[in-house]
Structure 1
């Protein structure tokens, strides 16, 4: 097992968790919308998927990403 100091953190950051949670909700909502054949809800889910990606990017730029100054790694 190697201990590299340039380890990007594998996405264990507030920015990554926020993006993934929002996008998981969007995919679940989109799946239900397709199952019950409600196209408006499907397109809302697609929009929410984009919002999740943007939220992760914005939080990463705000310093909450794996290498950001506002994120402190935790020992494993």
Structure 2
């Protein structure tokens, strides 16, 4: 490993690194819409996985349908203002 020091030309608070602008936080989907979508889809994946192991096609398809419902629930909640930066999540000043 090299013990070379960082050159003075690099600033400590650089906003662009390797051609990518890091001035805006990316966010990680921490919203009620995202959590609802993920939880419902995980339940659907669990149903589908169990059905796959017991070789039951109808229950497997039901698990896939539950995953689709989770996706739709997340989209509807995002449109209703519960997504990242949504109108229902704005701080009211309290």
* TM-based fold match above 0.5: yes
What's the offset of the Cα at 1:71?
1.5
| Bigger Rg, structure 1 or 2 | 2
- Number of equivalent positions: 72
CA RMSD, aligned part only?
2.1
Unpaired runs of 5+ residues, structure 1, are none
Unpaired runs of 5+ residues, structure 2, are 1-12, 16-21
TM value normalised by structure 1:
0.83
Is 1:11 paired with 2:26? Answer: no
The 4+ residue runs of structure 1 with deviation greater than 6 A are none
What does residue 61 of structure 2 align with?
43
Aligned mate of 1:25, from 26, 43, 68: 43
TM value normalised by structure 2:
0.68
Q: Within 1, Cα distance between the matches of 2:83 and 2:25? A: 13
**In proportion to residue count, which structure has more helix?**
1
**In proportion to residue count, which structure has more strand?**
2
